[in-house]
Amino acid sequence: MTIARRPIAFAAVLALIGIGWTAPASSSADPSASLVTPSTSALPAIASVTPTVEPTPSAPAVTPDPSPAPTPPAGLARVAETQRDGIRVRIELQRDPLPAGERSWVRTVVTNRGKDDVTWFHDGCALPASVDGRSLVPWSMGADQSSISARFKTYALGGHISLEPSPLANIEFVREAQLSSGDTGCADVGISEKIRPGHSVTETLWWSGFAAPNRALPLPGALSITAHAGYYWRGRHQPESIVDHALELSLDAWIEAPDSDHLSPAQAVDAALADPGFHAYLDTQQLANGRAEIAWYDADRDVWEIGVMPWYETEPPRIHGVLVDGTDGSIVGTLDRAWDSARDPFP
């Protein structure tokens, strides 16, 4: 690829253009990946005032109802593409169905098929196209909670004061180096590059096999994948509205899993809230006030970490709560550890 760089001012929002065609499914070899972006750092410390959680060992709190995994439809596609003004965007999945709990890649390619240069305008991450997905199979949202338990459950599952958490799992494709790191951000700058006629910009992104941000196992079933490629235009002059120069396409896919007998994120939170020691600890906390509400799944141990992390009491911040068995919902231990910005999600 031949490109020329020059920084200019940045303005960007999503724009949706076009839906592409699909091709039959198969499996591809593993391509190479690229850049690493920096992880988020912890916040300043003050003296700790957080009480400890004393969980009560419990019998199984939840009995999941395993059901046979749904069967994927025949002829699932791995490839989708769209084109506008001689600019073609193509995505190719490593495989379809995508196995839950296993890494899978998607290759993105943006090609200039015209006779003159195309400008590519992007932020510091410089992704030719971003790729995300949403499961169409809802998790169980568990029991209704009240008072502080309801607030904790809402926040821990990604909702807020005016938005209920979604029962649908989100999946994210990121650069391979980010799979084992915490959340990262992109530099808030605008950079333009030229794509010469006949040349392409490519990137390989990876899915961890787990849902974001709780790192839960998604349920087997239908998955909608969306790619957003921005911003590209032809000609010497910058358009008046850059955001009108994005391309978007979608691909119907499938998540494959051997069973569905793991707790949903909501069921794991319910199991923690049923513990008297954890509930007593919550009563000492001002939720969403200098605190993060945590519900993270650890697949290696089949355990949920459910707790509260005060941002400003220690350096690094510590998470206090309980460990919940990922299959039967029993309380299996106390959660009391430092937040690790190199591997933990950003709450």
pLDDT digits (tens, 9 = 90+) for 285-324: 999 999 999 999 999 999 999 999 999 999 999 999 999 9
Q: Is residue 221 part of a domain?
A: yes
Token reading at 61 = 């709190």
Model pLDDT, residue 236: 84
**Whole-number Å distance between alpha carbons of 58 and 271:** 10
Q: Is 182 strand, coil or helix?
A: coil
Pick the residue with more confidence: 227 or 184? 227
Percent of the chain with pLDDT over 70: 79
Q: Is residue 277 part of a domain?
A: no
Model pLDDT, residue 39: 32
Pick the residue with more confidence: 126 or 26? 126
Residue 10 pLDDT greater than 90, yes or no = no
Q: Is residue 337 part of a domain?
A: no
Q: Is residue 236 part of a domain?
A: yes
- By DSSP bridging, strand 5-8 and strand 77-84 are unpaired
Model pLDDT, residue 347: 82
Dump pLDDT digits (tens) for 90-121. Answer: 999 999 999 999 999 999 999 999 999 999 99
**Whole-number Å distance between alpha carbons of 243 and 230:** 8
**CA angle, 185 then 190 then 196, to 5°:** 115
Token reading at 116 = 């003159």
Helix (H), strand (E) counts: the chain: 3, 18
The average pLDDT across 199-208 equals: 97
Q: Is residue 29 part of a domain?
A: yes
Short-list 290, 40, 39, 318, CA closest to 155: 290
Domain count, the chain: 1
Sequence-distant (6+) residues with CB within 8 A of 302 are: 262, 325, 326, 327
The average pLDDT across 5-27 equals: 40
Dump pLDDT digits (tens) for 158-178. Answer: 998 889 999 999 999 999 988
CB 229 within 8 A of CB 246: yes
At 14, the pLDDT band (50, 70, 90 cuts) reads very low
Q: Is residue 224 part of a domain?
A: yes
Q: Is residue 135 part of a domain?
A: yes
CATH number at residue 190: 2.60.40.10
Q: Is residue 48 part of a domain?
A: no
Sign of the Cα torsion 22, 23, 26, 31 reads negative
Which residue range forms the structural domain that includes residue 248? 5-40+76-140+168-256
**Whole-number Å distance between alpha carbons of 230 and 246:** 4
| pTM metric for this prediction | 0.80
Radius of gyration for the chain, computed over Cα atoms and rounded to the nearest angstrom = 22
